[in-house]
């Protein structure tokens, strides 16, 4: 490999590479980028949406926002991708957290911890998983492609307050409506009255 420079993946190199490639023009076209895998980077996204680098929270919101814009999920593994490198990272649950929502004209407008915004509907469905042991719900909304946001607890409680009962798949369900789409949360018969 004479003459070839090997660069060790680092957070600084990723940030510089993506900044140069996008020049602040919105979300980078990561669907067009297919660089070689360069190894794993010690970056972890905690369940509460906090990004860590080498065990320390990343304190620069602009850097977290930049990294979140180059996040990709392939075969149940998360990567940060630039035009020239692809590095693996750890995500504890979902890579985003929906920290707030507004109900406007019967549509649910969500905002994530990094400022992404989406309206729940066919392109941004809501789904709820339940813990097999405790039955506790974990609600999610699709942010983009196959990347979801965990809906934070305060927002989920507010959503439950505006939930409705509908017939879904020939059963009565309690759920949410947005963009003329019903998102089931729990069968109505399972609700404690």
In the chain, the N- to C-terminal Cα span, in Å, equals 70
**Region of poorest pLDDT, from 12-21, 81-90, 154-163:** 12-21
149-154 long-range Cβ contacts below 8 angstroms, 24+ apart: 149/94, 149/95, 149/96, 149/97, 149/98, 149/110, 149/112, 149/116, 150/47, 150/49, 150/93, 150/94, 150/96, 150/97, 150/98, 151/97, 151/98, 151/101, 151/110, 151/126, 152/97, 152/98, 152/99
Q: Which of 176, 141, 135 is nearest to 158 (CA)?
A: 176
pLDDT band per the 50, 70, 90 thresholds, residue 171: confident
The pLDDT score that the predictor gives to residue 193 is 44
The pLDDT score that the predictor gives to residue 152 is 97
Three-state SS at 170: coil
The pLDDT score that the predictor gives to residue 46 is 97
pTM beyond 0.75, yes or no: yes
Which segments within the chain are labelled E, that is strand? 37-45, 51-53, 56-57, 71-74, 77-81, 86-91, 96-104, 107-112, 117-119, 126-130, 137-144, 147-151, 164-168, 171-178, 181-187
pLDDT band per the 50, 70, 90 thresholds, residue 65: very high
Residue with the larger pLDDT of the pair 162 and 26 = 162
**Backbone angles phi and psi of 62, in degrees to 5:** -65, -35
Q: Which of 71, 103, 100, 105 is nearest to 88 (CA)?
A: 71
- What's the CA gap between 155 and 22, in Å, rounded? 33
pLDDT > 60? residue 6: no
How many other β-carbons are positioned within 10 Å of the β-carbon of residue 187? 13
Per-residue pLDDT of 14-58, as tens digits, reads: 666 555 555 556 788 888 889 999 999 999 999 999 999 999 999
Q: Which helix H or strand E contains 64, and what residues bound it?
A: helix 61-68
The pLDDT score that the predictor gives to residue 2 is 44
């Amino acid at each position: 490999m004479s003459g070839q420079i090997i660069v060790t993946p680092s957070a600084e190199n990723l940030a510089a590479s993506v900044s140069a490639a996008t020049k602040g023009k919105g979300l980078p076209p990561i669907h067009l980028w297919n660089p070689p895998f360069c190894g794993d980077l010690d970056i972890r996204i905690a369940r509460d949406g906090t990004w860590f680098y080498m065990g320390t929270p990343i304190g620069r919101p602009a850097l977290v926002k930049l990294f979140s814009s180059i996040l990709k999920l392939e075969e149940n593994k998360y990567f940060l991708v630039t035009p020239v490198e692809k590095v693996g990272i750890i995500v504890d649950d979902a890579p985003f957290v929906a920290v707030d929502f507004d109900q406007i004209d019967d549509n649910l407008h969500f905002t994530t911890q990094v400022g992404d915004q989406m309206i729940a509907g066919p392109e941004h469905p809501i789904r709820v998983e339940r813990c097999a042991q405790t039955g506790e719900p974990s609600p999610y909304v699709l942010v983009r492609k196959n990347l979801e946001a965990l809906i934070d607890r305060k927002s989920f409680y507010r959503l439950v307050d505006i939930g409705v009962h509908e017939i879904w798949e020939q059963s009565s369900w309690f759920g949410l409506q947005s963009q003329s789409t019903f998102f089931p949360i729990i069968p109505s018969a399972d609700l404690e009255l």
